[in-house]
A and B are shown apart, each in its own frame.
Chain A
Amino acid sequence: MGELRLMKGNEAIAEAAIRAGCDGYFGYPITPQSEVMEYLMAEKPFERTGMVVLQAESETASINMVYGGAGTGKMVMTSSSSPGISLMQEGISYMAGAELPGLIVNVVRGGPGLGTIQPSQADYFQAVKGGGHGDYHMLVLAPASVQEMCDHVKLGFDLAFKYRTPVMILSDGAIGQMMEKVVLFDQIPRRTDEQIIEQCPWASNGRPASRDHHIITSLDLDPAGQERVNLKLQAKYKTMEENETRYEEINCEDAEYIFVAFGLAARICQKATDLARAKGIKVGLFRPITLFPFPAQEVAFIGNRVKGILVVEMNAGQMIEDVKLSVGCRVKIEHYGRFGGIIPSPDEVVRALEKQIIGG
């Protein structure tokens, strides 16, 4: 049905944004995601759909542009990589507090600090646990292919508006840069201003004489009021946990061991699963697609059926905390990680399984 193309992950993000009917993109160059804005500028979406694309003076400005656009009900996004996402944290917290929909793409690179431009998954905690100040979460999607980079843009916008929440696509430098086949969904027309006004009855986009004024803010100086805001947010996160948990299971039916991995690490583990099975090791892969809400029940269900779990991440051990919290302590759970931009090979992952879980 859709159009088949060979694309980089970053390009898929950009093309999907245009096709999803996105109204505005605001960003600042940083490797390894600069192709997102480069692609957008080259494609002239202002002519294709009327979408606004603006190179901002910083990631701080970008996220506040997203905040402003979202505050008027428009479908807006930004993309960056780790250091830039750190700069955005105040703005993301404001979006969560003011309950604004928006899409933030993090094509993660190795840290801390300026780190490296190579792929990493070291921003899991920042993405999933809040990152900015205050008790809040983003809904976090973890694509493992160029196809999912494309699909998660559409899904991300849908969820952002459904829950009036910032949504993050937590990808990495490899998925951003690698080329794969992707089936693009058909162009969805941008909403008209009238449709936006109707669909977003909370937005600030001009007060007609017939209604009260709208205020977009994350401030409530009255502690009781601010507690109510927090309770509302927590209830929303609970609903997300109930309805929006997404995951994938590969070769898990007869598995004695499982890998738990997201994004690029899951792609590597998928290959490792094949290699291990060729050796007679019955291993499967559990891949969380939403990192928040985390598929806690599902990983616990399968985790408690197997003899051991190896959590493979391109970081020092972050998602493993959620796996341990979900599964409990009856099953052996170990972590295998490479950091700083090193991508583990499927072979070394199998060796880690043998050494840390099967032999250990």
Chain B
Amino acid sequence: MEEQFEKIEIRKPENIVYKKTDLLVDRPLSYCPGCGHGTVHRMLMEVLEEMNIYEKTIGVSPVGCSVLAYDFLNIDMIGAAHGRAPAVATAVKRLWPDHFVFTYQGDGDLAAIGTAETIHACNRGENFTIIFINNGIYGMTGGQMAPTTLPGMRSSTSPYGRDVPTMGHPLKITELVAQLPGVHFVTRQAVHTPGNVRKTKKALRKAFELQKENKGVAFVEVVSNCNSGWKMTPVQANKWMEEHMFPFYPLGDIKVDGKLVEKKEMVDKE
């Protein structure tokens, strides 16, 4: 039987329909299976590859689950202290103005400990991209309450659910920074379906294109899951995210070309 088959090499450039970008280091990601961080990493690197700007890109990683992003992203990286990435990126961009600079931050990093750095970098209109992974929880430290944790949502430090009178409201920092004149483009995306992944990639591309024009901050939030922190399977987590996170953090553009987008449905459904 065997001799009937002739071995043909089909791995030719003209046959390639999909390939992992070389800008992702060939090593296993440290993220939990199903976590959104890895998908955003891939989109980000694909954008830098397609724009062919990776040689002139400097990334700033946070403290959070993506603290090791620099191990996976095959570009020059600087690991910032918890919350300080926008300050780090401010200096990097000011000192290398012809380079592309981004921060990659979680919600604890960007909207709690680093709130001041976030707001002031945005308000100064620094010309870099902020990528904000909002999973409503402190993933890395084991699922504690984040500034973005929903009312009633359980976490290890709100084990009976976030009690707004004592624990405060979730912070919609993205809507907040959109108010600032230094911010040019604000969008909120997700990566749990192929369609959303495509939209996120488009948003990232736009954010990096804007850096060429020196128009100020481009802010891309990705509402993401945290299966481990939420104590759910990846499938459950994505469903829960659609049912609970999206109504509170509605997807779509919030500010385009420096102008706030009129939103009819952008009302809290708490």
Which residues of A approach B to under 8 Å, CB–CB? 23-24, 26, 52, 54, 56-58, 60-62, 64-69, 71-72, 74, 76, 90-91, 94, 98, 193, 204-209, 213-219
Contact = CB atoms under 8 A, between A and B. Distances in A.
B84 interface: yes
Question: Closest 6 interchain pairs by CB?
Answer: A68-B88, A217-B79, A204-B76, A65-B91, A64-B87, A64-B84
Contacts of A65: 87-88, 90-91
B117 to A, nearest CB: 6
B180 to A, nearest CB: 13
A193 B78 contact: no
B101 to A, nearest CB: 9
Contacts of B78: 67-68, 71-72, 204, 215-217
Contacts of A207: 54-55, 74-76
Contacts of B95: 23-24, 52, 69, 72, 74, 76
A98 B240 CA distance: 40
A210 B92 CA distance: 22
B76 to A, nearest CB: 4
Given A64-B81, A205-B96, A209-B55, 20 more contacts: A24-B95, A56-B87, A61-B116, A61-B117, A64-B84, A64-B88, A68-B90, A68-B91, A69-B95, A72-B58, A204-B78, A205-B99, A213-B25, A213-B73, A213-B76, A213-B77, A214-B77, A217-B78, A217-B79, A218-B79
B116 A58 contact: yes
A214 to B, nearest CB: 5
B96 A206 contact: yes
A57 B80 contact: no
A68 B92 contact: yes
B163 interface: no
Interface residues of B, number: 34
Contact of A206 (B73, B74, B90, B99): B99
Contacts of B90: 54, 61, 65, 68
Contacts of A60: 84, 87, 116-117
Interface of B: 25, 54-58, 60, 67-68, 70-71, 73-81, 84, 87-92, 94-96, 99, 116-117, 120
Contacts of B55: 206-209
Nearest to B73: A213
Contacts of B76: 204-207, 213-215
Contacts of B89: 68
B84 A91 contact: yes
A76 B99 CA distance: 18
Contacts of A26: 91
Contacts of A219: 67-68, 79
Contacts of A216: 77-79
Nearest to A75: B95
Given A24-B94, A54-B94, A206 B56 contact: yes
A219 B67 CA distance: 9
A213 B80 contact: no
B230 to A, nearest CB: 24
Contacts of A74: 91, 95
Nearest to A24: B95
Nearest to A76: B91
B58 A205 contact: yes
By CB atoms of chain B within 10 A, which of A69, A98, A218 has the most?
Answer: A69
21 contacts: A24-B94, A52-B91, A52-B95, A54-B90, A54-B94, A58-B116, A64-B84, A64-B88, A64-B91, A65-B87, A65-B91, A66-B91, A67-B80, A67-B88, A68-B87, A69-B91, A90-B81, A205-B76, A207-B76, A216-B77, A217-B78
B81 A94 contact: yes
B135 to A, nearest CB: 21
Nearest to A215: B70
Contacts of B58: 72, 204-206
B227 to A, nearest CB: 21
Nearest to B77: A215
A120 B67 CA distance: 39
B103 to A, nearest CB: 10
A206 B53 CA distance: 9
A61 B84 contact: yes
By CB atoms of chain A within 10 A, which of B58, B68, B81, B95 has the most?
Answer: B95
A72 B75 contact: no
A190 to B, nearest CB: 11
A291 to B, nearest CB: 26
Given A24-B91, A68-B89, A214-B76, A57 B81 contact: no
A215 B87 CA distance: 18
A64 B96 CA distance: 16
A322 B200 CA distance: 58
Contacts of B75: 206-207, 213
Contacts of A213: 25, 70, 73-77
A328 B56 CA distance: 56
A71 B25 CA distance: 21
Given A54-B90, A193-B96, A206-B57, A68 B77 contact: no
Contacts of B92: 68-69, 71-72
A24 B88 CA distance: 13
By CB atoms of chain B within 10 A, which of A193, A207, A219 has the most?
Answer: A207
B80 A68 contact: yes
Contacts of B80: 64, 67-68
A71 B56 contact: no
Contacts of A66: 91
A26 B95 CA distance: 12
